[in-house]
Amino acid sequence: MLLALLAGPAAATVPDIVGLGARWQGAGGGGVAVVEDGTAALLNPAGLSRVRRPTASVGYLYGWPRFEATPELWWDTNRDGLVDENDPPLAFDANPPQMGGVQASASRNVGGKFGVGFTAYVPTANLVRFRMFEPSLPNWIMYDNRPQRFVAAAGLGGQILPGLSIGASVDLLARARIRVAATLDAEIDASSTGTGTTETLSDVVTEIVVDVHEIDLAVVPALSPVLGVQLDVGQILPAIDGLVLGASYHHPLGLPLDVDLDVQANADVGGVGDLEPWVGAVVAQAGLSLFDHYQPRRVQMGLAYRRANALTVYADTRWTDWRGLVLNVARLETASLTSPFLDLNDTIVDGNSYDLVLRSTWAFRMGGDLSLPRFPLKGRARYLQLSFRGGFGYEPTPLVSQSAASAFLDTDRTMYTLGAGVEHWDPFDLVDGAVRFDIFFQYHVLARAQLPRSTDVPLAGYPVSAAGIPAGGSMPVIGGQWSFEY
Protein backbone atom coordinates (compact mmCIF):
# COMPACT_ATOMS: atom_id res chain seq x y z
CA MET A 1 0.00 0.00 0.00
CA LEU A 2 1.30 3.45 -0.91
CA LEU A 3 1.75 5.95 1.89
CA ALA A 4 1.33 8.85 -0.54
CA LEU A 5 0.21 9.01 -4.10
CA LEU A 6 0.70 11.14 -7.19
CA ALA A 7 -0.37 10.73 -10.77
CA GLY A 8 2.44 10.17 -13.19
CA PRO A 9 2.72 7.05 -15.33
CA ALA A 10 4.55 8.28 -18.42
CA ALA A 11 3.82 11.70 -19.89
CA ALA A 12 0.11 11.29 -19.61
CA THR A 13 -1.21 12.75 -22.80
CA VAL A 14 -3.53 10.31 -24.54
CA PRO A 15 -0.79 9.03 -26.92
CA ASP A 16 1.46 8.32 -23.95
CA ILE A 17 -1.28 6.49 -22.06
CA VAL A 18 -2.64 4.33 -24.90
CA GLY A 19 -0.15 4.79 -27.76
CA LEU A 20 -0.83 6.16 -31.23
CA GLY A 21 -2.40 4.32 -34.15
CA ALA A 22 -4.93 1.50 -33.75
CA ARG A 23 -2.44 -1.10 -34.93
CA TRP A 24 0.04 -0.28 -32.17
CA GLN A 25 -2.65 0.48 -29.60
CA GLY A 26 -4.02 -3.01 -30.03
CA ALA A 27 -0.55 -4.50 -29.61
CA GLY A 28 0.37 -2.87 -26.30
CA GLY A 29 0.82 0.75 -27.33
CA GLY A 30 4.57 0.49 -27.99
CA GLY A 31 6.85 -0.81 -30.72
CA VAL A 32 9.81 1.57 -30.72
CA ALA A 33 11.84 -0.96 -32.75
CA VAL A 34 9.24 -1.74 -35.45
CA VAL A 35 7.01 1.33 -35.89
CA GLU A 36 7.03 2.17 -39.60
CA ASP A 37 4.22 4.60 -40.36
CA GLY A 38 3.34 8.21 -39.57
CA THR A 39 3.04 7.50 -35.86
CA ALA A 40 6.82 7.03 -35.86
CA ALA A 41 7.12 10.82 -35.83
CA LEU A 42 6.31 10.70 -32.12
CA LEU A 43 7.38 7.21 -31.04
CA ASN A 44 10.63 6.79 -33.01
CA PRO A 45 11.29 8.95 -36.10
CA ALA A 46 13.89 6.46 -37.37
CA GLY A 47 10.97 4.20 -38.33
CA LEU A 48 10.01 6.66 -41.09
CA SER A 49 12.86 5.24 -43.15
CA ARG A 50 10.80 2.05 -43.60
CA VAL A 51 7.91 3.84 -45.31
CA ARG A 52 7.63 2.56 -48.89
CA ARG A 53 4.24 3.79 -50.12
CA PRO A 54 2.45 7.03 -49.23
CA THR A 55 0.06 6.23 -46.38
CA ALA A 56 -2.57 8.22 -44.50
CA SER A 57 -4.88 7.31 -41.64
CA VAL A 58 -7.65 8.74 -39.51
CA GLY A 59 -9.27 7.25 -36.43
CA TYR A 60 -11.07 7.87 -33.19
CA LEU A 61 -10.68 6.67 -29.62
CA TYR A 62 -12.77 6.97 -26.49
CA GLY A 63 -11.89 6.22 -22.88
CA TRP A 64 -13.77 6.63 -19.64
CA PRO A 65 -11.97 6.55 -16.27
CA ARG A 66 -13.84 4.70 -13.52
CA PHE A 67 -11.77 5.53 -10.46
CA GLU A 68 -12.62 5.13 -6.79
CA ALA A 69 -15.28 7.48 -5.43
CA THR A 70 -14.07 10.27 -3.15
CA PRO A 71 -15.58 10.40 0.39
CA GLU A 72 -17.28 13.55 1.62
CA LEU A 73 -14.75 16.21 2.62
CA TRP A 74 -14.48 19.05 5.07
CA TRP A 75 -14.64 22.42 3.28
CA ASP A 76 -15.87 25.97 3.85
CA THR A 77 -19.07 25.17 2.00
CA ASN A 78 -21.15 27.87 3.77
CA ARG A 79 -18.42 30.43 2.93
CA ASP A 80 -18.23 32.01 6.37
CA GLY A 81 -14.44 31.89 6.48
CA LEU A 82 -14.33 28.93 8.86
CA VAL A 83 -14.10 25.17 8.40
CA ASP A 84 -16.19 23.62 11.15
CA GLU A 85 -19.19 21.44 11.93
CA ASN A 86 -21.53 24.10 10.53
CA ASP A 87 -20.28 23.40 7.00
CA PRO A 88 -22.26 20.83 5.00
CA PRO A 89 -19.83 18.14 3.72
CA LEU A 90 -18.36 18.75 0.28
CA ALA A 91 -19.37 16.09 -2.25
CA PHE A 92 -16.31 16.27 -4.48
CA ASP A 93 -16.03 14.22 -7.66
CA ALA A 94 -12.36 13.58 -8.42
CA ASN A 95 -13.05 11.20 -11.31
CA PRO A 96 -11.31 12.61 -14.43
CA PRO A 97 -13.32 13.60 -17.50
CA GLN A 98 -13.79 11.14 -20.32
CA MET A 99 -11.20 11.02 -23.08
CA GLY A 100 -12.20 11.25 -26.71
CA GLY A 101 -10.37 12.45 -29.77
CA VAL A 102 -9.36 12.07 -33.39
CA GLN A 103 -5.99 10.59 -34.28
CA ALA A 104 -4.44 11.04 -37.71
CA SER A 105 -1.14 10.34 -39.43
CA ALA A 106 0.48 10.57 -42.84
CA SER A 107 3.82 9.40 -44.24
CA ARG A 108 5.62 8.94 -47.52
CA ASN A 109 8.96 7.87 -48.92
CA VAL A 110 11.46 10.47 -50.12
CA GLY A 111 14.36 9.48 -52.33
CA GLY A 112 14.21 5.75 -51.66
CA LYS A 113 15.97 5.60 -48.29
CA PHE A 114 14.25 8.45 -46.46
CA GLY A 115 10.75 9.04 -45.21
CA VAL A 116 8.74 11.89 -43.72
CA GLY A 117 5.77 11.62 -41.43
CA PHE A 118 3.25 13.47 -39.32
CA THR A 119 0.98 12.31 -36.53
CA ALA A 120 -1.53 14.07 -34.30
CA TYR A 121 -4.13 13.50 -31.62
CA VAL A 122 -6.81 16.18 -31.30
CA PRO A 123 -9.38 15.98 -28.44
CA THR A 124 -12.92 16.53 -29.61
CA ALA A 125 -13.95 18.33 -26.42
CA ASN A 126 -11.24 21.00 -26.60
CA LEU A 127 -7.99 21.79 -28.39
CA VAL A 128 -6.02 23.21 -25.47
CA ARG A 129 -7.46 23.12 -21.96
CA PHE A 130 -5.75 25.29 -19.34
CA ARG A 131 -6.84 24.20 -15.88
CA MET A 132 -5.30 24.75 -12.47
CA PHE A 133 -6.43 22.76 -9.44
CA GLU A 134 -6.51 23.07 -5.66
CA PRO A 135 -3.75 20.83 -4.20
CA SER A 136 -5.62 20.17 -0.93
CA LEU A 137 -8.48 18.49 -2.81
CA PRO A 138 -8.11 14.98 -4.31
CA ASN A 139 -6.97 15.17 -7.92
CA TRP A 140 -5.79 12.65 -10.50
CA ILE A 141 -3.25 15.07 -11.87
CA MET A 142 -2.13 13.13 -14.92
CA TYR A 143 -5.57 11.88 -15.94
CA ASP A 144 -7.62 15.01 -15.30
CA ASN A 145 -6.23 17.82 -17.47
CA ARG A 146 -3.29 16.35 -19.37
CA PRO A 147 -5.28 14.03 -21.65
CA GLN A 148 -7.46 17.01 -22.64
CA ARG A 149 -4.89 18.55 -24.98
CA PHE A 150 -3.66 18.08 -28.52
CA VAL A 151 -0.45 16.29 -29.48
CA ALA A 152 1.30 16.71 -32.82
CA ALA A 153 4.69 15.69 -34.18
CA ALA A 154 6.43 15.82 -37.56
CA GLY A 155 9.74 14.22 -38.51
CA LEU A 156 12.21 12.75 -40.96
CA GLY A 157 13.99 9.39 -40.92
CA GLY A 158 16.51 7.76 -43.22
CA GLN A 159 18.78 4.76 -43.65
CA ILE A 160 22.41 5.88 -43.46
CA LEU A 161 24.08 2.44 -43.47
CA PRO A 162 22.79 -1.03 -44.34
CA GLY A 163 20.33 -1.87 -41.57
CA LEU A 164 20.94 1.37 -39.64
CA SER A 165 18.31 4.13 -39.67
CA ILE A 166 18.19 7.39 -37.75
CA GLY A 167 15.51 10.04 -37.46
CA ALA A 168 14.55 13.31 -35.86
CA SER A 169 11.25 15.05 -35.24
CA VAL A 170 9.66 17.80 -33.20
CA ASP A 171 6.82 17.39 -30.72
CA LEU A 172 4.63 20.48 -31.05
CA LEU A 173 3.13 21.87 -27.85
CA ALA A 174 1.79 25.26 -26.75
CA ARG A 175 2.68 27.77 -24.07
CA ALA A 176 0.87 30.91 -23.00
CA ARG A 177 1.34 34.35 -21.52
CA ILE A 178 -1.54 36.14 -19.77
CA ARG A 179 -1.75 39.73 -18.54
CA VAL A 180 -4.76 41.16 -16.67
CA ALA A 181 -5.06 44.82 -15.63
CA ALA A 182 -8.18 46.16 -13.92
CA THR A 183 -9.44 48.99 -11.71
CA LEU A 184 -12.14 48.86 -9.03
CA ASP A 185 -13.69 52.24 -8.12
CA ALA A 186 -16.00 52.52 -5.10
CA GLU A 187 -17.86 55.73 -4.14
CA ILE A 188 -18.87 55.91 -0.45
CA ASP A 189 -21.13 58.75 0.73
CA ALA A 190 -22.80 58.62 4.15
CA SER A 191 -24.31 62.11 3.89
CA SER A 192 -27.38 60.65 2.21
CA THR A 193 -28.44 59.18 5.57
CA GLY A 194 -28.82 62.67 7.03
CA THR A 195 -26.97 61.92 10.27
CA GLY A 196 -23.69 60.66 8.91
CA THR A 197 -24.33 57.28 10.48
CA THR A 198 -25.59 54.11 8.89
CA GLU A 199 -26.69 50.63 9.74
CA THR A 200 -25.19 48.70 6.80
CA LEU A 201 -22.40 49.22 4.31
CA SER A 202 -24.83 48.96 1.41
CA ASP A 203 -26.51 52.18 2.62
CA VAL A 204 -23.42 54.28 1.90
CA VAL A 205 -21.85 52.58 -1.11
CA THR A 206 -23.48 54.51 -3.93
CA GLU A 207 -21.57 53.02 -6.87
CA ILE A 208 -18.94 50.41 -7.66
CA VAL A 209 -17.33 50.50 -11.10
CA VAL A 210 -15.23 47.60 -12.38
CA ASP A 211 -13.03 48.63 -15.29
CA VAL A 212 -10.99 45.89 -16.95
CA HIS A 213 -8.29 47.71 -18.92
CA GLU A 214 -6.46 44.81 -20.47
CA ILE A 215 -6.62 41.05 -20.88
CA ASP A 216 -3.80 39.84 -23.06
CA LEU A 217 -3.61 36.08 -23.78
CA ALA A 218 -0.91 34.90 -26.15
CA VAL A 219 -0.62 31.21 -27.04
CA VAL A 220 2.66 30.49 -28.81
CA PRO A 221 4.17 27.23 -30.07
CA ALA A 222 6.82 25.33 -28.18
CA LEU A 223 8.90 22.54 -29.70
CA SER A 224 10.43 19.48 -28.06
CA PRO A 225 12.97 17.52 -30.17
CA VAL A 226 12.72 13.74 -30.54
CA LEU A 227 15.63 11.61 -31.78
CA GLY A 228 15.50 7.95 -32.79
CA VAL A 229 17.51 5.02 -34.14
CA GLN A 230 16.64 1.55 -35.47
CA LEU A 231 19.02 -1.28 -36.30
CA ASP A 232 17.91 -4.21 -38.45
CA VAL A 233 20.36 -6.78 -37.12
CA GLY A 234 19.34 -9.30 -39.77
CA GLN A 235 20.85 -7.17 -42.54
CA ILE A 236 24.22 -7.39 -40.78
CA LEU A 237 23.98 -10.94 -39.41
CA PRO A 238 21.71 -13.00 -41.69
CA ALA A 239 21.68 -15.84 -39.16
CA ILE A 240 19.36 -13.76 -36.92
CA ASP A 241 17.25 -12.29 -39.67
CA GLY A 242 14.17 -10.56 -38.30
CA LEU A 243 15.73 -9.12 -35.15
CA VAL A 244 15.40 -5.32 -34.92
CA LEU A 245 16.62 -2.97 -32.18
CA GLY A 246 15.34 0.54 -31.57
CA ALA A 247 15.70 3.50 -29.25
CA SER A 248 14.41 7.07 -29.02
CA TYR A 249 14.99 10.15 -26.89
CA HIS A 250 12.37 12.79 -26.07
CA HIS A 251 13.69 16.10 -24.73
CA PRO A 252 11.96 17.63 -21.67
CA LEU A 253 9.81 20.69 -22.08
CA GLY A 254 7.75 22.71 -19.65
CA LEU A 255 4.69 24.66 -20.73
CA PRO A 256 4.52 27.67 -18.43
CA LEU A 257 1.66 30.13 -18.28
CA ASP A 258 3.14 33.42 -17.13
CA VAL A 259 0.36 35.45 -15.50
CA ASP A 260 0.77 39.13 -14.57
CA LEU A 261 -2.01 40.66 -12.46
CA ASP A 262 -2.30 44.41 -11.93
CA VAL A 263 -5.37 45.46 -9.92
CA GLN A 264 -6.01 48.94 -8.49
CA ALA A 265 -8.84 49.61 -6.01
CA ASN A 266 -9.92 53.24 -5.48
CA ALA A 267 -12.28 54.53 -2.78
CA ASP A 268 -13.91 58.01 -2.83
CA VAL A 269 -15.20 58.59 0.71
CA GLY A 270 -17.32 61.50 1.85
CA GLY A 271 -19.92 62.43 4.48
CA VAL A 272 -18.61 60.07 7.14
CA GLY A 273 -18.93 61.85 10.52
CA ASP A 274 -16.50 64.75 10.96
CA LEU A 275 -13.93 63.30 8.51
CA GLU A 276 -12.95 65.37 5.53
CA PRO A 277 -13.69 63.79 2.14
CA TRP A 278 -10.75 61.73 0.96
CA VAL A 279 -9.68 59.41 -1.85
CA GLY A 280 -7.64 56.29 -1.20
CA ALA A 281 -6.07 53.77 -3.55
CA VAL A 282 -4.66 50.28 -3.11
CA VAL A 283 -2.57 48.74 -5.90
CA ALA A 284 -2.08 44.99 -5.92
CA GLN A 285 0.40 43.42 -8.30
CA ALA A 286 1.20 39.72 -8.54
CA GLY A 287 3.11 37.35 -10.75
CA LEU A 288 1.81 33.79 -10.96
CA SER A 289 3.74 30.85 -12.29
CA LEU A 290 1.46 28.22 -13.78
CA PHE A 291 2.32 24.99 -15.57
CA ASP A 292 -0.38 23.54 -17.76
CA HIS A 293 1.74 20.61 -18.87
CA TYR A 294 5.18 19.20 -18.17
CA GLN A 295 6.81 16.94 -20.73
CA PRO A 296 9.57 14.99 -18.95
CA ARG A 297 12.79 13.62 -20.38
CA ARG A 298 12.20 10.12 -21.78
CA VAL A 299 14.39 7.38 -23.20
CA GLN A 300 12.72 4.40 -24.86
CA MET A 301 14.47 1.22 -25.89
CA GLY A 302 13.11 -1.92 -27.46
CA LEU A 303 13.67 -5.01 -29.53
CA ALA A 304 11.42 -6.85 -31.93
CA TYR A 305 11.32 -9.94 -34.05
CA ARG A 306 9.55 -9.97 -37.41
CA ARG A 307 8.99 -13.07 -39.49
CA ALA A 308 7.93 -12.99 -43.14
CA ASN A 309 5.53 -10.08 -42.63
CA ALA A 310 3.29 -12.53 -40.75
CA LEU A 311 4.45 -12.39 -37.12
CA THR A 312 5.78 -9.47 -35.12
CA VAL A 313 6.58 -9.51 -31.42
CA TYR A 314 8.25 -6.76 -29.44
CA ALA A 315 9.25 -5.61 -25.98
CA ASP A 316 9.86 -2.00 -24.92
CA THR A 317 11.19 -0.35 -21.82
CA ARG A 318 10.83 3.36 -21.09
CA TRP A 319 12.76 5.51 -18.62
CA THR A 320 11.01 8.71 -17.60
CA ASP A 321 12.68 11.39 -15.48
CA TRP A 322 9.93 12.75 -13.24
CA ARG A 323 12.26 14.49 -10.79
CA GLY A 324 11.74 17.88 -12.45
CA LEU A 325 7.95 17.64 -12.64
CA VAL A 326 6.06 20.89 -12.14
CA LEU A 327 2.35 20.42 -11.51
CA ASN A 328 -0.45 22.57 -12.91
CA VAL A 329 -0.95 24.34 -9.60
CA ALA A 330 -0.94 28.14 -9.46
CA ARG A 331 2.18 29.27 -7.59
CA LEU A 332 2.70 32.83 -6.33
CA GLU A 333 6.10 34.08 -7.52
CA THR A 334 5.92 37.81 -6.73
CA ALA A 335 3.34 39.99 -4.99
CA SER A 336 3.12 43.56 -3.74
CA LEU A 337 0.40 45.66 -2.10
CA THR A 338 0.85 49.42 -2.27
CA SER A 339 -1.35 51.58 -0.03
CA PRO A 340 -0.94 54.91 1.76
CA PHE A 341 -2.40 53.32 4.90
CA LEU A 342 -0.95 49.80 5.16
CA ASP A 343 2.26 47.92 4.47
CA LEU A 344 1.37 44.25 4.12
CA ASN A 345 3.98 43.03 1.65
CA ASP A 346 5.80 40.96 4.26
CA THR A 347 2.61 39.06 5.12
CA ILE A 348 1.70 37.91 1.58
CA VAL A 349 2.26 34.16 1.21
CA ASP A 350 1.36 31.51 -1.33
CA GLY A 351 -1.86 29.69 -0.46
CA ASN A 352 -1.14 26.74 -2.78
CA SER A 353 2.16 25.54 -1.37
CA TYR A 354 2.85 21.81 -1.47
CA ASP A 355 5.83 19.53 -1.07
CA LEU A 356 6.52 16.24 -2.80
CA VAL A 357 9.41 14.00 -3.76
CA LEU A 358 9.49 12.23 -7.12
CA ARG A 359 11.69 9.59 -8.72
CA SER A 360 12.46 8.51 -12.25
CA THR A 361 10.59 5.39 -13.36
CA TRP A 362 11.00 2.40 -15.67
CA ALA A 363 7.92 1.26 -17.56
CA PHE A 364 7.44 -1.87 -19.67
CA ARG A 365 5.32 -2.76 -22.70
CA MET A 366 5.16 -5.78 -24.93
CA GLY A 367 2.90 -7.05 -27.67
CA GLY A 368 2.47 -9.01 -30.86
CA ASP A 369 0.79 -8.93 -34.27
CA LEU A 370 -0.19 -12.07 -36.20
CA SER A 371 -1.29 -11.71 -39.82
CA LEU A 372 -3.05 -14.67 -41.43
CA PRO A 373 -2.33 -15.68 -45.04
CA ARG A 374 -4.12 -13.61 -47.65
CA PHE A 375 -7.39 -15.00 -48.90
CA PRO A 376 -7.84 -14.35 -52.66
CA LEU A 377 -10.94 -12.44 -53.72
CA LYS A 378 -12.43 -11.89 -57.12
CA GLY A 379 -12.78 -8.40 -58.45
CA ARG A 380 -11.02 -5.20 -57.50
CA ALA A 381 -10.61 -6.08 -53.83
CA ARG A 382 -8.04 -8.77 -54.88
CA TYR A 383 -7.54 -10.28 -51.42
CA LEU A 384 -8.57 -10.25 -47.77
CA GLN A 385 -6.09 -10.48 -44.90
CA LEU A 386 -6.94 -10.62 -41.21
CA SER A 387 -4.65 -9.61 -38.34
CA PHE A 388 -4.95 -10.23 -34.60
CA ARG A 389 -3.06 -8.41 -31.88
CA GLY A 390 -2.53 -8.38 -28.15
CA GLY A 391 -0.31 -6.67 -25.63
CA PHE A 392 0.54 -5.83 -22.04
CA GLY A 393 2.02 -2.86 -20.23
CA TYR A 394 3.06 -1.78 -16.75
CA GLU A 395 3.57 1.82 -15.61
CA PRO A 396 4.76 2.54 -12.04
CA THR A 397 3.94 5.72 -10.15
CA PRO A 398 6.91 8.04 -9.57
CA LEU A 399 5.89 9.49 -6.20
CA VAL A 400 8.10 8.86 -3.20
CA SER A 401 6.25 11.09 -0.71
CA GLN A 402 4.04 14.14 -0.37
CA SER A 403 3.14 16.45 2.50
CA ALA A 404 -0.16 16.65 4.36
CA ALA A 405 -1.03 19.82 2.42
CA SER A 406 -1.85 17.92 -0.78
CA ALA A 407 -4.02 15.02 -1.92
CA PHE A 408 -2.55 13.99 -5.28
CA LEU A 409 -3.80 10.60 -6.44
CA ASP A 410 -2.36 7.83 -8.56
CA THR A 411 -1.16 4.24 -8.30
CA ASP A 412 0.74 1.80 -10.49
CA ARG A 413 -1.08 1.06 -13.74
CA THR A 414 -1.34 -2.22 -15.65
CA MET A 415 -2.61 -2.30 -19.23
CA TYR A 416 -4.10 -5.16 -21.27
CA THR A 417 -4.81 -4.71 -24.99
CA LEU A 418 -6.51 -6.55 -27.85
CA GLY A 419 -6.83 -5.61 -31.49
CA ALA A 420 -7.84 -6.84 -34.92
CA GLY A 421 -7.54 -5.62 -38.48
CA VAL A 422 -8.58 -6.38 -42.03
CA GLU A 423 -6.76 -5.39 -45.20
CA HIS A 424 -7.75 -5.52 -48.87
CA TRP A 425 -7.16 -3.60 -52.07
CA ASP A 426 -9.37 -0.59 -52.68
CA PRO A 427 -12.40 -2.02 -54.51
CA PHE A 428 -13.57 1.42 -55.71
CA ASP A 429 -10.27 2.48 -57.31
CA LEU A 430 -10.30 5.68 -55.31
CA VAL A 431 -6.69 5.04 -54.33
CA ASP A 432 -4.09 2.79 -55.87
CA GLY A 433 -3.21 0.75 -52.83
CA ALA A 434 -4.30 -1.27 -49.85
CA VAL A 435 -7.03 -0.19 -47.46
CA ARG A 436 -6.99 -1.23 -43.78
CA PHE A 437 -9.53 -1.13 -40.97
CA ASP A 438 -8.20 -1.64 -37.44
CA ILE A 439 -9.97 -1.72 -34.08
CA PHE A 440 -8.59 -2.05 -30.56
CA PHE A 441 -9.65 -2.38 -26.95
CA GLN A 442 -7.56 -1.54 -23.89
CA TYR A 443 -8.29 -2.14 -20.24
CA HIS A 444 -6.19 -0.18 -17.75
CA VAL A 445 -6.19 -1.24 -14.10
CA LEU A 446 -4.92 1.13 -11.42
CA ALA A 447 -3.82 -0.70 -8.30
CA ARG A 448 -5.99 -0.12 -5.25
CA ALA A 449 -4.45 1.88 -2.43
CA GLN A 450 -5.37 4.54 0.10
CA LEU A 451 -3.98 7.96 0.86
CA PRO A 452 -3.95 8.25 4.69
CA ARG A 453 -5.75 11.48 5.53
CA SER A 454 -7.52 11.40 8.89
CA THR A 455 -8.17 14.25 11.29
CA ASP A 456 -9.72 14.81 14.75
CA VAL A 457 -10.77 18.37 13.89
CA PRO A 458 -12.28 19.70 10.65
CA LEU A 459 -9.54 20.42 8.12
CA ALA A 460 -10.15 21.56 4.56
CA GLY A 461 -9.82 18.71 2.10
CA TYR A 462 -9.86 15.94 4.71
CA PRO A 463 -12.56 13.21 4.76
CA VAL A 464 -15.43 13.82 7.14
CA SER A 465 -15.83 10.23 8.32
CA ALA A 466 -13.19 8.13 6.52
CA ALA A 467 -9.62 7.48 7.58
CA GLY A 468 -8.25 8.13 4.13
CA ILE A 469 -8.96 8.73 0.45
CA PRO A 470 -9.17 5.59 -1.70
CA ALA A 471 -7.31 5.39 -5.00
CA GLY A 472 -7.46 2.92 -7.84
CA GLY A 473 -9.95 1.83 -10.45
CA SER A 474 -10.07 1.03 -14.14
CA MET A 475 -10.13 2.78 -17.50
CA PRO A 476 -11.49 1.05 -20.63
CA VAL A 477 -10.45 2.54 -23.98
CA ILE A 478 -11.83 1.63 -27.40
CA GLY A 479 -11.02 2.94 -30.85
CA GLY A 480 -10.70 2.32 -34.55
CA GLN A 481 -8.78 3.58 -37.54
CA TRP A 482 -9.04 3.65 -41.32
CA SER A 483 -5.82 3.84 -43.31
CA PHE A 484 -4.95 3.63 -46.94
CA GLU A 485 -2.04 3.69 -49.36
CA TYR A 486 -2.13 5.99 -52.32
CATH code where residue 305 lies: 2.40.160.60
pLDDT tens over the chain, length 486 residues? 333 333 333 346 899 899 989 999 999 999 999 999 999 999 999 999 999 999 999 999 999 999 999 999 999 999 888 999 999 999 999 999 999 999 999 999 998 889 999 999 999 987 767 777 788 899 887 788 778 888 899 999 999 999 999 999 999 877 777 777 778 777 766 665 555 454 555 556 566 777 777 777 777 788 899 999 999 999 999 989 999 999 999 998 777 777 777 777 777 766 655 556 656 666 667 666 666 677 889 999 999 999 988 999 999 999 999 888 777 776 666 667 676 655 655 666 666 677 888 899 999 999 999 999 999 998 889 999 999 999 999 999 988 888 888 999 989 999 999 999 999 999 888 888 999 999 999 999 999 999 998 888 999 999 998 889 999 999 999 999 999 998
Whether 283 maps to a domain, the answer reads no
pLDDT digits (tens, 9 = 90+) for 303-322: 999 998 899 999 999 999 98
43 within a domain of the structure (yes/no): yes
Note whether residue 458 is domain-resident: yes
Domain count within the chain: 1
Contacts (Cβ under 8 Å, ≥6 apart) of 156: 45, 48, 110, 114, 115, 116, 167, 168, 169
Please indicate, yes or no, if residue 97 is contained in any of the structural domains: yes
* Pairing state between β 205-232 and 361-371: unpaired
Q: What is the 3-state secondary structure (H, E, C) of the chain?
A: CCCCCCCCCCCCCHHHHHCCCHHHHHCCCCCCCCCCCCCHHHHCHHHHHHCCCCEEEEEEEEECCEECCCCCECCCCCCCCCCCCCCCCECCCCCCCCEEEEEEEEEEEECCCEEEEEEEEEECCCCECCCCCCCCCCECHHHHCCCCECEEEEEEEEEEECCEEEEEEEEEEEEEEEEEEEEEEEEEECHHHCCCCCCCHHHCEEEEEEEEEEEEEEEEEEEEEEEEEEEEHHHHCHHHCCEEEEEEEECCEEEEEEEEEEEEEEEEEECCCCCCCEEEEEEEEEEEEEEEEEECEEEEEEEEEEECCCEEEEEEEEEEECCCCCCCCCEEEEEEEECCCCCCHHHCCCCCCCCEEECCEEEEEEEEEEECCCEECCCCCCEEEEEEEEEEEEECCCEEEECCCCCECCCCEEEEEEEEEEEEECCCCCCCCEEEEEEEEEEEEEEEEEEECCCCCCCCCCECCCCEEEEEEEEEEEEEEEEEEC
* Domain presence at residue 93: yes
Burial readout 348-382 (b: 16 or more C-beta within 10 A, e: otherwise) = eeeebebebebeebebebbbbbebeeeeeeeeeee
Q: Confirm whether 388 is domain-assigned.
A: yes
In a domain, 201, yes or no: no
Domain around 77? 14-171+223-249+296-325+358-485
Query: Considering the domain boundaries, does residue 289 fall inside one?
Result: no
Cβ neighbours for 151, distance < 8 A, ≥ 6 positions apart: 13, 14, 15, 42, 120, 121, 171, 173
